[in-house]
Structures are given as structure tokens and as C-alpha cells.
Structure 1
Amino acid sequence: MSVLLDRDGPVAVITLNRPEKLNAWTAGMRERLIELLREAGADPQVGAVVLTGAGRAFCAGQDLGETAGIDPDDHAASDAWIDGFDRLYRAVLDLDKPVVAAVNGVAAGSGFQFALLADLRIGHAGTRMGQPEVLSGIPSITGIWAMWSVLGRAKTTEFALTGRLVYGAEAERLGLLTRLVAEHDVLASAVAQAKELAALPSGAVALTKGRLRELERDALADSVAAAKKVHAAAYATGEPQREMARFLKGRAK
């Protein structure tokens, strides 16, 4: 299975399980994630959720092999792809239960955005995080939304335009990571943190998260609408297809 669900007491641990591809995800993986997030949210025995990845990555973002074939004239397909991310991001934001990301390795592109949706993020010194979509000719639109409240305008602009990834210590300093631990302790520390959160008064947690969600809801809707327009314009130029084909060709050597 490319996405796994386990339990550790009151904590649901959801793991992206495609380590040979650095957990780069497909549309099918994201749909399965949505199902599991909703399942955890509806389970009265689950008090908190941990998100992580198998192997040496959290999530390298979109599988470019899937998006390289997007037909620039098929606007419905392009919009459906973006709507899939909207549903996934909302599935995380709609959880009334605390969410902790165990960022065990690289978190890039939409995988980076996904990590930022967690309430707390625990990583290690070798963790790498960033928004390299521009390097593949893909505009970073929902990425701007995900980064803005954490990084502010200056750093969001830097990350979106340069595509650079930062290591754990800088990620912690910038607020991308909540805490650094030893590499082998990342998942255990995230689960321990989630158990502490699960023991808090659930009503107060749910209401607090509800208010946080209100602050983000309109901005996400605006970001998704903008992403549809901007991505259509980008793909119409053929640039993303050329850059992704170049990347995939280089990886195949």
C-alpha cells in the first residue's frame, strides 16, 4: 500500500509509503490520504494524528511522471488536479484533532506545503524543506499561501522564486520546524508530542482549531482559484512540460 494507517494508543499514524520515489505522490495516493484523514477524524478513539513518510523522505511532492503528460488544452483535467490538492489540504485543516508532522527527510513542493498544514512539525538536522517547483517550470501558487503565514512576504518570495531547500537548523529558526531531535527519534518524538496533545481537553482544542481554520479558509479558496488560472497560463507556454521532461530524462540516465 502506498499510504499506511497505524495506531499507537490515541494517535493515528499516517505514513506515505513509496520510499523508492521519496514518497512523491500521485493523485491516487492523495485520494487515499483524504480517506484516511477523514477516517481518523471520525474515530472517537483517535485524539491526534501524526503524518510521516517511509524511508529517507517525508514527501518529495508531486510525481512529475504523472504531471508531465498534462494536456495544456484540457482545462478540466488541470482544474481537477488542483481541486485534488484543495480537498487534501482541507482534509488536514478540517481535522478538529491536533496534527503533528514527523518530517523524517526531504519535504519539497506540495509535500512541503502538506507538512506546513500540520499544527506542529518535528524534524532533524538533515531534514530539507523548500518549494522547488519553479525549477520545474511550475508556478508556486498554493505554495505562496502555505508559506505566507509562517515565513511572511520576504522569505515566501525567496523560497518561491529561488526554489532552494533549507536544512533542519535553518528550518527550525524560520518556524518551518517546531523542534529538532536526533534523526532516529523523529517519529517517536512526534508520536509522544501527539499523545500529549491528545490528552488535552478536546473541546478547547477543537474550538481553537476551528478559529485557526476560519483564518485560513478564504485565503486557501483564493489561492486555489488563482492556481487554476496561473497553471493554465503556464502549461499553455509548454515550459513546465519541457522542464519536467528534461528532469525525467536526467533521472533516467
Structure 2
Amino acid sequence: MDSVITIPALGDNLIYLYRYNQGDCLAIDPGECRSVSNILKEQNLSLKMILVTHHHWDHTGGVAELKKTTGCKVVGGDKRRIRDVDQVFEDGETIPVGGADVRVIATPGHTSTSVCYNLVPSAASASGILWTGDTLFVGGCGRLFEGNARTMFESLRRLASLPDDTLVYCGHDYTVENYEFALSIETDNQSVRQRLKDISESGQTVPSTMLQERTTNVFLRAGAPEVKAALGMEQAKDFEVFAELRRRKDSF
């Protein structure tokens, strides 16, 4: 039985282990080593591969030690800035994982070489899974450190085109703040209010689904007439609305 294990770390980071073939697993963005090593030991898992979405330290801090202690392979989108990467996969290429494939999606914006990883639906996983790093958050998106608004918005639109039931696992838990920001723009968005209520009752923020993101993530809704009207940007292009949303969120 395949499953995703969520490991909170470093305050608000989220590290993931994807378990497959019963005792094997891969790790996504291990920002530190100890918590991952503890889970591997507790659940008797063998780490076969690490997937890195981008080079920032809080997503790579545990890579070297985990590679040293387990002998696992490291995959990423940037071999120059992620020192321990063994292989770079390009946009659209697939990584075999057990009986399934993980598709690499280039998503420049947060950094110029950011990538996301999409586990394609299979017999092992009926719903697709998307690990988004700092590109797409539940209810939000990453800051623009190495890209412009147009580039980031196009990356987000690529992700938003995935099937409704795709499970979304992001790199940080900023969920409540993201939804509070969304309500400062769309004060009457009942879908956002319901999501906040559900999260308050369950205490669970991940995974989201792509349908939930398209409905409640204000950054994915930059083209919606309601959002444009709320900003007084009815005639603006979608990416221009996105840029204004990102500017406001940066100081929210």
C-alpha cells in the first residue's frame, strides 16, 4: 500500500516520504536529516531516492547526510546549486518509482530552476500526487525571488491544469494566513470560509486537492471577474492581477 508521510520540520516546513513497495520510500525536500532518519528507523523504511524541488537551504539541509547514511540517489532540477544531485531530469521527463512514474514539471518563478513532481495516477495510486515545494502552497504561492510575475503565473497555471483529484503537498504550511489574505480580497468567498472552518475542525492542512486550489487559492483565481473587481483591475491581464496580489501578500 502506497502512502505519503508528512514530517513537520524547521517551524513551518513540510518534508514528505512517499512509501511504495511496502518497505521502500523516497523523500521530498528533506530540509533536515534527524526527523527523516527517525521515521525511517521507526517504520523500517529503506530510502531509495530524494527529490529536491529547489536549492534553498530549508529544502536541502538534510540531503547530504541522508545520502551519506543511506546511499540513496538524489534528483533535482539544478545540479550547480544543489551539490549532492546525482541526476537532473528535464521538464516532462519521468522518474520510475516502483510501479509508477513521477513526472517532472518545470515551474520557474520562486527560483529559476524550481521544479514540481507529479506522481501519475496508477494502480498503486488512484489519485495523482503533486509535490510543489515553494511554487504552490495550500491557498497561496511562493515569493518571486528569481522570476517575474508572468513567469510564476504561467507555472501556476500549468499546475492548475492537473486533474481535480490531484493531491497537493506543499513545502510550507502557511495555510491559515493564506486564506486570511484571500478573504481580505474576496470577502464573500464562501468556499474559502468553509475551508478555514474545515481546517479548524480537523487540524489538517495537507493534502489539498487541485479542485480545492482552483476554488479557494486567490492566486490561481487572478483571472476571475470577482477578484479583478475587488482590486479595481477589471481590464487588466491575468498576470498583472497576479502581480498585484503577490505585491499585497508580501506585506500582508
Specify if TM > 0.5.
Answer: no
* Bigger proportion of residues as helix: 1
TM class by smaller structure: under 0.3
Q: Name the TM-score, length of structure 2 as normaliser.
A: 0.27
TM-score, L = length of structure 1: 0.27
Greater RCO (CA < 8 Å, at least 6 residues apart):
1
